[in-house]
Amino acid sequence: MVPSPPHGGNQRWHHLDAIRVSAILLLIPYHAARYIQKGLGEDRAVDAAVWFVHTWHMPLFFAISGFLAASGLRRSSVPSQVRSRLRRLGVPLIIGMLTVVPLANLFVIEAAALWPRTQQIPAKREMALGHVFNLTPQHLWFIAYLLVISLLAIGIWLAIQQHARVGATINRGFRTLMRSWWGLPALASLSAMILITKSGWVAGGTMSDSLIPVPTLLAYFSLFFVFGWLLSGQDDLLEVLKRGAWLRFAAGLTIAIPAFALFYDHTDFTGNVGSTGILVGVDQIRPLGLFSVGLVCWLMLFGVWGLLARYVQSESRVLRYLADASFWIYLVHIPFLVAMQSSLANTHAEVALRYTLTVIGTLALAIGSYALVQAIRRLWIRAWRPRGVLRLRATGSVAGLLALTVAISLQLAAPTVASSRPSPPPQALMIHGGSFLRGRVADELDESPGGGGLMAVLPPDQGRRQANGGAEAAHVDRRPLALGE
């Protein structure tokens, strides 16, 4: 792994802003669709949308990260980059583990306590400090993986610098791959070779269970990081991405249709009960299935990157602001999303309307909180940093605000959890003609493939029960719609 020739100092790539913003804005509707997927169970359109986005969304994140990491290393020293990775990734991870993740855990515990699946609440859903604060990173798995991969990449780069011929060979091989017709099939084959060592048909499963990366998934996402790293600074290869971008994008969409029909496995998405693909049970064709999924991934990655590089070539103040806010949005969107889903579940609105309002509301809250933190940061700097002595990072403000939120929430939740433990009998819930499986209260904060996510629950529809004096209790489930396990 060797950085390419220098590229224009501190020049900002506007198309990378567009990619970052697009990826983050897609993350919120993706996670919201995951929740609907859990409730609807057999809705194939939702299954297809979630599967399709999942195949290439997180790989694109890692490819962009590798591109930017190599660019940063060319502009500064190795010690500076190591400190930067620890500050920009390690610190937010620690703060998020102490604030965002506990807040998300708290929401699910409250839901499980108010509407338990059976006569008793699972032990891990009892209100206890260890169930709120723990070492399960949930959607922050991406930061943990990226931190490890970034540090490993810097170490490998240092080693290669001692052997110039090795670096030159790698660079020549990468350029040949990018310019050859067999480049995409070769990359898809590499993806398949890595994923064949694990169960399932896509990258997912146990990413969010621990702060320690799973070796197979670490290798898989490292492949995309290295791709972005080697691409960085090579403008002629960016031109290769631009040429034929529409064709690759269209090919990715086209191949995704039969790939989903043949190789979709609902067990890749924990808690989903949808139907599996036609050939999922045929182990002999598993390599072919993984290759086809990998081909969809790389075609979409090349297509999306190439299209945005082709059409976004000038600066936009709105785009730059959203790009700067993208990491913050990623950190805090899950608690906002769960809160929106829970609040809107008390209404009689159709699922599609609730979904739309949830996505819009979550985005508004995430961007609004970013603006608030930036305003606080500016006020603090004016008051306490007369000549640049003190640098207040946005994460410092976040730590205080979210820690206070967790403390207040724990205090307010305690009496509610202690007094609200109904146990209605299991039945089926029908809402506006849509059938939802009953009693699927979230037992765990599951990784949501493609970004990781909190499997939340929707609160019950209280209004109809009160209006009918409980007459529908035997036919309508008053517990929340379960959005995942």
Q: Please give the average per-residue pLDDT across 259-276, as a whole number.
A: 70
pLDDT bucket at 382, cuts 50 / 70 / 90: confident
Tell me, yes or no, whether 6 lies in a domain. Answer: no
Q: Please give the average per-residue pLDDT across 154-160, as a whole number.
A: 93
pLDDT bucket at 452, cuts 50 / 70 / 90: very low
Query: How far is residue 262's CA from residue 409's CA, in Å, rounded to a whole number?
Result: 45
User: Within the chain, what is the greatest distance between any pair of CA atoms?
Assistant: 80
* Least confident segment among 125-139, 148-162, 223-237, 419-433: 419-433
How high is the pLDDT of residue 437?
29
pLDDT bucket at 391, cuts 50 / 70 / 90: very low
pLDDT bucket at 426, cuts 50 / 70 / 90: very low
Helix (H, G, I), strand (E, B) or coil at 348: coil
* Least confident segment among 110-124, 197-211, 326-340, 369-383: 110-124
How high is the pLDDT of residue 29?
92
Tell me, yes or no, whether 430 lies in a domain. Answer: no
Q: How is residue 246 written in tokens?
A: 């529409």
How confident is the prediction for the chain on average, in pLDDT? 75
Query: How far is residue 125's CA from residue 55's CA, in Å, rounded to a whole number?
Result: 31
Residue whose structure tokens are 């499997």:
455
The answer, yes or no, to whether residue 414 has pLDDT greater than 90, is no
Which alpha helices (DSSP H) does 385-459 contain, by range? 394-419
The answer, yes or no, to whether residue 435 has pLDDT greater than 80, is no
pLDDT bucket at 164, cuts 50 / 70 / 90: confident
**Cβ atoms within 10 Å, residue 107:** 24
Q: Please give the average per-residue pLDDT across 409-437, as a whole number.
A: 38
Helix (H, G, I), strand (E, B) or coil at 455: coil
Residue 435, H or E segment: strand 434-436
Q: How is residue 40 written in tokens?
A: 């609807």
298, with CB counted inside 10 A (0-12, 13-18, 19+), is: buried
Residue whose structure tokens are 């924990």:
270
The answer, yes or no, to whether residue 272 has pLDDT greater than 60, is no
This prediction has a pTM of: 0.77
- Tally the domains of the chain: 1
Residue with more model confidence, 324 or 388: 324
How high is the pLDDT of residue 138?
84
Query: How far is residue 441's CA from residue 480's CA, in Å, rounded to a whole number?
Result: 7
The winner for highest mean pLDDT among 144-158, 369-383, 409-423 is 144-158
How high is the pLDDT of residue 457?
30
343, with CB counted inside 10 A (0-12, 13-18, 19+), is: middle
Q: How is residue 464 written in tokens?
A: 């109809």
The answer, yes or no, to whether residue 456 has pLDDT greater than 80, is no
**Torsion angle of C-alpha atoms 51, 56, 58, 61, degrees rounded to 10:** -150
**Torsion angle of C-alpha atoms 334, 339, 344, 345, degrees rounded to 10:** 90
Query: How far is residue 211's CA from residue 118's CA, in Å, rounded to a whole number?
Result: 31
Tell me, yes or no, whether 146 lies in a domain. Answer: yes
332-362, pLDDT tens digit by residue?
Answer: 998 888 778 777 766 777 888 888 998 999 9
Q: How is residue 123 written in tokens?
A: 């032990």
Q: Please give the average per-residue pLDDT across 199-228, as a whole number.
A: 84
Residue with more model confidence, 375 or 349: 375
The answer, yes or no, to whether residue 370 has pLDDT greater than 90, is yes
For residue 397, CA distances in Å to 92, 253, 376 come to 11, 42, 8
How high is the pLDDT of residue 460?
36
pLDDT bucket at 85, cuts 50 / 70 / 90: very high
Residue numbers of the domain that contains 179: 14-419
Q: Please give the average per-residue pLDDT across 50-79, as a whole number.
A: 92
Tell me, yes or no, whether 198 lies in a domain. Answer: yes
Residue whose structure tokens are 């995409």:
184
Residue type, 227: F
Tell me, yes or no, whether 437 lies in a domain. Answer: no
336 Cβ contact list (under 8 Å, min separation 6) = 361, 362, 365, 366, 369
Tell me, yes or no, whether 432 lies in a domain. Answer: no
Q: Nearest Cα to 221, choosing from 174, 153, 288?
A: 153
Tell me, yes or no, whether 312 lies in a domain. Answer: yes
Tell me, yes or no, whether 2 lies in a domain. Answer: no
